[in-house]
Structure 1
Amino acid sequence: MISLREMAPLKSLEREFAIIDSNFQQFCASHGLFSVGDFLIQDLCVLVALAEQHPTSERLKEGITQVLSIIDSQHQPWFNGMDLLEDAQQNKHILSTGCERIDMFLQGGLREGHVTELVGPSSSYKTQVCLQVASNVAKMGGVVFLDTGNSFSPKRIAQFLISDPAGKESDRKIIQKVLASIVCFSVFDIFTLLDVLHQLKSNLKYQTCGQVRLLIVDSISSLITPVLGGSGSHGHALMISAGSFLKRLAHEHNLAVLVTNHMVGGEGGVLKPALGESWKSIPHVRLQLSREHGSNLCSMCILTHPYMGSGKAVKFSIS
């Protein structure tokens, strides 16, 4: 259902949101955008590209971000405890990762309705875990893989599935089925991410993309880090908008969402997850990965989990 605010003319929001000023309204009007609702059918990548051609491009992009935040704020439903419990029991399942030790550690695997974050330094096998999970979930449902750094590898997916190096006919059929169940998008900036997520939401609503069980973003930090910093707040608003969108998709469409995040230097040179304290509240589950140098032996440690204590760890290997 479309709210009154989504139908509101942009001009009516100027008093409440200074960034939606006459200059921003004039820019929008020149491209056929007169209300908040008009943004729902707009190609965000094209709009941002048009904004970048203006002398006030940064302010225009900040205005676009503000309108997206208004749209997002209208779709955050309220639930009581019984509603959430019933929904969890009836609609939210646990998806096996395909790695027995990880499944045992996480009490079954990844939970639908949750955003799970894998955080770790470079070469800690974050992408390998994503590919392992994608190869396993795609046996029983659809997977959407948002690739931000050319990390998706059909060949690696096939390696996870092959039981006989000689290549049985049954293996080839399984590989074909699994790869056909994985839809991969190349996403190289935050605006494209938001655009793809809006498209995915529409497809899921009208069931035009099959039964998607898993959404992977590898990596979320590579999209968000470039827009953070500086004197403006639009980067932070974009980050929160993207994170909130992922959480709503997970809850409303019973998806397991898996994102990766890199690490940065903190106080005393100690590594910590990127994206700061505001992002910290987005994932339901945060798992830190590390890998022993020169081997495929990895360690997974719980940073945040709604049902398990932090600090617990497990070792596993990915062949």
Structure 2
Amino acid sequence: MGALNYLTVENASIDADFVQFCASHGIFSVEDFLVHDVYVLVASAEKLSNSDRLKQGINQMLSIIETWHQPWVSGQVLLEDREQNKHCLSTGCKSFDMLLQGGLRVGHVTEFVGPSSSGKTQVCFQVASNVAIKLGSVVFIDSGNSFSPTRIKQIVTRISGSVETWVHGILQQAMRNIECHAVFDVYALLNVLQQLKSSLESQAGYKVRLIIVDSVSSLIAPILGGSNAQGHALIASVGYLLKKLADRHNIAVLVTNHMVSGEGGTLKPALGESWKNIPHVRLQFSRDHATNIYGVYILKHPYMASGGSANFTIP
């Protein structure tokens, strides 16, 4: 759904005064508004000199939320959409594709979790390169200056073959197909996702096949802690937007997440309970540094039992 600031552009009643009024009641996002008592909010607005304007903003918020409610859809329609649009995108790695029965599923948010140097970003480069060569546009959202065009070039060259003129043409096309955004906080991430949503809805012919966020945890973890309601609301906003983009526009979404110590020192995915139910698919990475062989393990998948695994190498 998102922060209230993003609604000021297209909704006249939701202006800076209304956003400030909501902030004074601890409301920073649509999710915050949903859990707040509207009657208490209206009563508070009536005590202020600009009460009529504020109540218009409250009504506008209720109207927006109402339009976001999804209509009832029959099982037949859902089945047809699944069979026609929700196919898999090959990762370009045979063992990966075999484990996932085809690759990354369109319409799903897939999460790579694992410790540092376990191969998450390298596989993101592999998937981005493969999709950019064979299928079309990739949006790569980079939160840690990890995007490497040189590494993309190496992967594209390896996939394409050895004929120099052929490789050059494919490389140029692949690099044009990858749109990279550097973001350094969760608000910038939400802004990019909102802009992407607007472009997909308003620009005829604009299509994205894959969205990568590397890494989502580096953006969200700094705002969490204790009972920070705003942090958890922002998590919900990010998750909602990613899922909506994936489902509405038939996009495969891939995010990376690091691991933290749990009970007894056991490693577990970061971002806690607020995040864990957002990804449809959760895959855990590992690496044997002695042999340089990487492993991937299914933690969660809507169509497969957890526990499946595969090994792979990164050339």
- Give the TM interval when normalised to the shorter protein: 0.7 to 0.9
Q: Measure the CA separation in 2 of the matches of 1:187 and 1:234.
A: 19
Q: What amino acid sits opposite 2:261 in the alignment?
A: G
Structure-to-structure mapping, 1:140-179, within 5 angstroms: 140-163=135-158, 168-179=164-175
Q: List per-residue Cα deviations over 1:129-185 (Å, max 9, x = no partner).
A: 000000000112100000000111111011112148977121111111100000000
Counterpart Cα distance in 2 of 1:145 and 1:234: 26
TM-score when normalising by structure 2: 0.80
Q: Does 1:16 align with 2:9?
A: no
Question: What is the rounded CA distance, in whole Å, between the counterparts of 1:185 and 1:72 in structure 2?
Answer: 29
Report deviation, 1:35: 3.2
* Structure 2 residue identity aligned to 1:311: G
> Match for 2:81: what amino acid?
D
Report the Cα offset of residue 296 of structure 1: 3.5
Counterpart in the other structure of 2:273: 277
- Give the alignment of 1:166-315 within 5 angstroms: 168-207=164-203, 210-315=206-311
Whole-Å separation in 2 of the counterparts to 1:37 and 1:184: 38
Shift of 1:15: 5.0
Alignment of structure 1 residues 55-134 onto 2, 5 Å: 74-77=67-70, 78-134=72-128
Shift of 1:278: 2.2
Q: Which amino acid aligns with 2:138?
A: V
Shift of 1:100: 1.1
- How far, CA to CA, are the matches of 2:285 and 2:270 in structure 1? 14
Larger mean Cα displacement after TM superposition, 215-224 or 86-95: 86-95
Q: How large is the RMSD of aligned CA atoms in angstroms?
A: 3.4
1-side partners of 2:123 and 2:275: how far apart?
Answer: 22
**Which residues in structure 2 correspond to 1:40-59 (within 5 Å)?**
none
Find the aligned partners of 2:164 and 2:86 in 1 and give their Cα distance: 35
SS of residue in 2 equivalent to 1:310: coil
Give 1:207 deviation, angstroms.
2.8
Closer, same or farther: CA 284–73 of 1 in aligned 2, 3 Å: farther
Q: How many equivalent residue pairs? A: 283
Q: Distance in 1 between matches of 2:197 and 2:301?
A: 26
**Separation in 1, partners of 2:147, 2:66:** 32
Determine the C-alpha separation between the residues in 2 that align with 1:72 and 1:137.
Answer: 35
Instruction: Give the share of equivalent positions with the same residue, in percent.
Output: 54
In 1, are the aligned partners of 2:282 and 2:300 still within 8 Å (CA)? yes
Amino acid at match of 1:75: W
- CA drift at 1:231: 4.0
2:57 maps to which of 14, 35, 54 = 35
3-state SS of 1:258 partner? strand
Show CA shifts across 1:225-249 (max 9, x none): 0111144311001001111110011
Tell me, yes or no, if the aligned pair for 1:36 and 1:71 is still in contact at 8 Å: no
Which runs of 5 or more structure 1 residues have no equivalent in the other structure? 39-66
Contact 2:214 2:256 in 1 (8 A): yes
- Code of the aligned partner of 1:16: V
Rounded to whole Å, the distance in 1 between the matches of 2:168 and 2:41 is 55
Secondary structure of the equivalent of 1:211? coil
Alpha-carbon distance, 1:26 to partner: 9.8
Assess if the C-alpha contact under 8 Å between 2:161 and 2:167 holds in 1.
Answer: no
Structure 1's 234 and 309: CA in aligned 2 closer, same or farther, altered over 3 A? same
Task: Tell me if structure 2 keeps the 8 A contact 1:110–1:256.
Answer: yes
User: Counterparts of 1:224 and 1:160 in 2: how far apart (Å)?
Assistant: 30
Query: Residues 309 and 152 (structure 1 numbering): CA distance in 2 closer, same or farther, change over 3 Å?
Result: same
Specify the SS of the correspondent of 1:302: strand
| Structure 1, 295-304 or 181-190: larger mean CA deviation | 295-304
Of 97-106 and 156-165, the range deviating more from structure 2 = 156-165
Counterpart secondary structure, 1:200: helix
Bigger mean CA deviation after superposition, 12-21 or 232-241: 12-21
Which ranges in structure 2 are unaligned for 5 or more consecutive residues?
Answer: 1-6, 23-32
